[in-house]
Structure 1
Amino acid sequence: MPPNRVMNGGREADLEVGLYPRRLRRKRSLTLVQKMSLVSRRYQKLPVPCVVCLSLANLVIVDGHSVYTRSKCDNSEEENSWLLKPCQIHPGQADIFVNHIKAGVETAAGIEDALLLFSGGETTKDAGPRSEAQSYWNLAESKDWFGRRESMRWRALTEEFARDSFENLLFSVCRFRELTGHYPTNITVVSCDLKQRRIMDLHRPALRFPESQFSFVGIQSSPTSKDAAINEESKVLNMFQEDPYGCRGELRKKRIYRDPFLRTPPYPVGCPEMRGLFGYCASEYYIGSLPWTH
């Protein structure tokens, strides 16, 4: 699609794909924003999909783990440029975050129709109202998308409300639906290698997403932090085994603690087919209807 048409709010493209009802096409006196509002109300208040994202079928998620705190991104490999948790304060940790971002870009670049989502909310009070996801996107931008700017920048966006690894997955699937108008065919999660079992064996089944359409790219932990990371992961893994949706006990407390600015997630407004899953809290897996279980 020519850039000038997209920059014009996607007006021409929207008309071509039928996002505007015919009666709105005649109302030339209405602004584009007013037309979008009318369309949203007509279609059960669903957000109008991102026009340039309509053709994307697969999802690559990069889980956020920290917030970059410098105003410029020229010191991204330095630990003091990131707001680190006590368990993250180890030499080489900043490089690991950059490797996550690079791996996400490279993975999505290898899949022509993949949307890349950096996922992570405003989880740390000391960082101010800055999200992990936006930090990662800004850093990728500063790195010129690791040599893949032309193919990747337009299809790399953010999900800025997740507070843990399960919400990274759940919210990103909803965000994909919000942006494209449909659900992903395949999902790839890029995260710390130690989280593979948690994400593949606990989070994926909790969403009941098909195993054959789900993959994981693990980035090796810093050697100096591996022992501490293994101990921490063991604790979290046990908690998610007992509470797969993270809605009770210690996992719920963590979510409250990681929401210092009291943000209200917009979901599931953009993914109404998942509404039942968002309100579900139990030790057993959700058995209601989901778009990928039909």
Structure 2
Amino acid sequence: MKSFSFGSNSNSPKSFTAYPSCDFDIESGTIKRTRRSKKLPLHPLKMIKSFANRFSYYKKLHPILVFCIALSFAVSVLVILLAYESHYWQTIGYRKFNVGSDNYPFVKLKNLVMVAGHSIYTSSSCGKVDKENSWFLEPYQQHPGQAASFVAHIQEGVEIVAKDDKALLLFSGGETRRDAGPRSEAQSYWTVAESKGWFGNEESVRWRAMTEEHARDSFENLLFSVCRFRELTGTYPHNITVVSYDFKEERFTHLHRSAIGFPESRFFYSGTPGSTTSKEAAMRGEALVRSQFQEDPYGCLGSLWRKKLGRDPFHRTIPYPNGCPEIEGLFRYCGAAPYSGSLPWAQ
């Protein structure tokens, strides 16, 4: 931009700017005022109102389309929330059991001895444990000598553990009989062992005899006890010994053991005889149940599943597999073929 000088003294000129710093319109001879951009403030209420108006407009124009879009959006949000909630509680459950080895009460125990429960002790006196009227018996169990067979199981489990200082004894069985009240089979067996002074092994066995109080059938006796062992020791059992009736050996050692993929070389069975008066009927019943488990190894379909539901009269929430997250897939599995996922004892 050029400057011009006026005045008589050329040594001290006075200068002026030919055009002002603003925009100048040569044709009209006027100064253009530069417009300043106005930043309109955001008004959330106006935006919401505008969106609502547009939504209302489109709703009138295409009501079915708008409804489908809204429904899809709501379903998507619901699915996301449910997935997040499931993941959250699963994470909390896993964290609960992600503790140091010093916090497990039986970290030094390596072997599991499981006594499968068959009935609930209902007598108010502990002096009649071998009497049938002290137990809640189903019609097929009402035979002389039945109560004594339960006591024999308890004693057998105690004596096996007494010989193995690395063993944990678990009495397994839930609250399976409505008319017996909210008492579990497992607690019944523990109480009987207590009343018998642990058959002379109180000092060595009582402190490592626990209960698993949710199993509703023989498969759950085994699977739930394995998980309970993990809760108490922090690891899975190296050896497993099952105590039950001698005629159930094939069911446990072949069907149930195979279903959980536990090595045969580390699985043991100790069977005691049932009452002599019920042997024939017991064998027929066992053959039927065994054939059902051959078709449905995990007891999750048909008659086995219905029987399991019937043995949960108080609708107890099963806590597993929170205590054994490594075998969650095994707990969720249902099928005729063996479970093919990874198992800690098969590695």
User: Closer, same or farther in 2 for the Cα pair 1:47/1:69, shift >3 Å?
Assistant: farther
TM-score, scaled to structure 2? 0.72
> Could you report, residue by residue, the CA deviation over 1:121-144 in whole angstroms, capped at 9, with x for unpaired residues?
000001000000000000000101
Letter in 1 for 2:216: R
Residues 147-226 of structure 1 correspond to what in structure 2 (within 5 A)? Answer: 147-226=200-279
Aligned to 2:193: 140
Q: Deviations over 1:150-199 (max 9, x none)?
A: 00000000000000000000000000000100000000000011100000
Q: 1:52: Cα distance to partner?
A: 3.7
Q: 1:46 aligns with which of 90, 94, 97?
A: 97
Residues 1:126 and 2:126 are matched in the alignment: no
Please identify the structure whose Cα radius of gyration is greater: 2
Aligned-pair CA distance for 1:43: 6.3
RMSD between aligned alpha carbons? 1.4
- The residue identity in structure 1 corresponding to 2:165 is E
Secondary structure of 1:45 counterpart? helix
CA distance in 1 between partners of 2:220 and 2:92 (Å): 27
8 Å Cα contact 2:154-2:189 kept in structure 1: yes
CA distance in 2, matches of 1:56, 1:47: 19
2:153 corresponds, among 85, 88, 100, to 100
What is the Cα deviation at residue 293 of structure 1?
1.1
Deviation track 1:198-252 (CA, whole Å, cap 9, x = no partner) reads 0011000000000000000001111100011001101100000000000000000
Equivalent-residue separation in structure 1 for 2:201 and 2:238 (angstroms): 23
Q: 1:51 deviation in Å?
A: 4.1
Q: Pick from 103, 119, 136: which aligns with 1:66?
A: 119
* TM-score between both structures, scaled by the size of structure 1: 0.85
- Contact kept? 1:63, 1:165, Cα under 8 Å: yes
Aligned AA for 1:45?
A: K
Q: Distance in 2 between matches of 1:67 and 1:220?
A: 19
1:79 matched to 2:110: no
Q: Structure 1 97/293 Cα, relative in aligned 2: closer, same or farther at 3 Å?
A: same
The separation in 1 between residues aligned to 2:94 and 2:147, in whole angstroms, is 44
Aligned amino acid, residue 144 of structure 2: P
Identity value in percent = 62
Is 1:47–1:178's contact at 8 Å kept on the other side of the alignment?
Answer: no
The one of the two structures with greater contact order (alpha-carbon pairs below 8 A, sep at least 6) is 1
In 2, Cα distance between equivalents of 1:99 and 1:117? 15
Amino acid in structure 1 at the alignment position of 2:248: K
Aligned to 1:240: 293
Letter in 2 for 1:46: F
- Rounded Cα–Cα distance in structure 1 between residues aligned with 2:314 and 2:205: 31
> What letter is aligned with 1:44?
R
Ranges of 4+ aligned residues in structure 1 off by more than 6 Å: none
> Aligned letter for 1:138?
T
Question: Over residues 19-73 of structure 1, what are the superposed CA-to-partner deviations in whole Å (9 max), with x where a residue is unaligned?
Answer: xxxxxxxxxxxxxxxxxxxxx9696221757644110000000000000001221
Q: How many Å separate the matches in 2 of 1:43 and 1:200?
A: 31
